[in-house]
Chain A
Amino acid sequence: DAGVIQSPRHEVTEMGQEVTLRCKPISGHNSLFWYRQTMMRGLELLIYFNNNVPIDDSGMPEDRFSAKMPNASFSTLKIQPSEPRDSAVYFCASSPIAQETQYFGPGTRLLVL
């Protein structure tokens, strides 16, 4: 079975540009999580969805960040406008609704210049 798929794997952009990160969860998983990882702050939960509905977005840093899950097989995390402090690795993870184990995607390495 395919795991969690994320794209792009690497993104280099300039400050002020819009960045869109994409995630395809494991088929049949009903919970989807977006994380950000940096050396300074570790792994931070940004937002999570249950059955395509955002349940908790308290980890979203500010209004420049937005996330959507239009269907069970696709989610996006958008940053507009991007800033150098947004540089990090962004992970998407999914889990079956009845279980707690999260399966992480390979991550997107974002560098904002």
Chain B
Amino acid sequence: QKEVEQNSGPLSVPEGAIASLNCTYSDRGSQSFFWYRQYSGKSPELIMSIYSNGDKEDGRFTAQLNKASQYVSLLIRDSQPSDSATYLCAVRPLSGGSYIPTFGRGTSLIVHP
């Protein structure tokens, strides 16, 4: 059974700090990795995707992937109160063209002024 694990949190960081969110996955055949942000009462929205080992930066967000360790993380630099949300990690295999993702249960992030 494919599993995606995240610490449920909440992770509390002060404004301006770096928030580090972590995700581990069990399926070694996974090829695509996504981070979604979900505000309370809203739907998930994609903020980052990463497909190869290493870092991928987009503004204040950096996704890090280590396939050997089956680990993907999201760093948020200069955290703002508006970043307070639940962050969902999603992992998708590429075998047979499958589009079926597995989502983690999410980590709640609180950025306090």
Contacts and interface: CB of A to CB of B under 8 A. Distances in A.
Contacts, number: 42
Interface string B75-102: 0000000000000100010000001111
Interface residues on B, range: 10 to 19
Interface residues of A, number: 20
B22 interface: no
B65 to A, nearest CB: 15
A100 interface: yes
Contact of A45 (B34, B46, B100): B100
Given A42-B104, A42-B106, A100 B99 contact: yes
Nearest to A104: B43
Q: Which of B34, B100, B102 has the most CB of A within 10 A?
A: B100
B94 to A, nearest CB: 9
B39 to A, nearest CB: 12
A50 B99 CA distance: 9
A75 interface: no
A91 interface: yes
B46 to A, nearest CB: 6
Task: Give the top 9 A-B pairs by smallest Cβ distance, nearest first.
Answer: A42-B105, A104-B43, A43-B103, A104-B44, A107-B43, A100-B32, A106-B43, A101-B46, A31-B99
Interface of A: 31, 33, 41-45, 48, 50, 56, 91, 95, 100-107
8 contacts: A33-B99, A42-B104, A45-B100, A56-B100, A100-B34, A101-B49, A102-B46, A102-B101
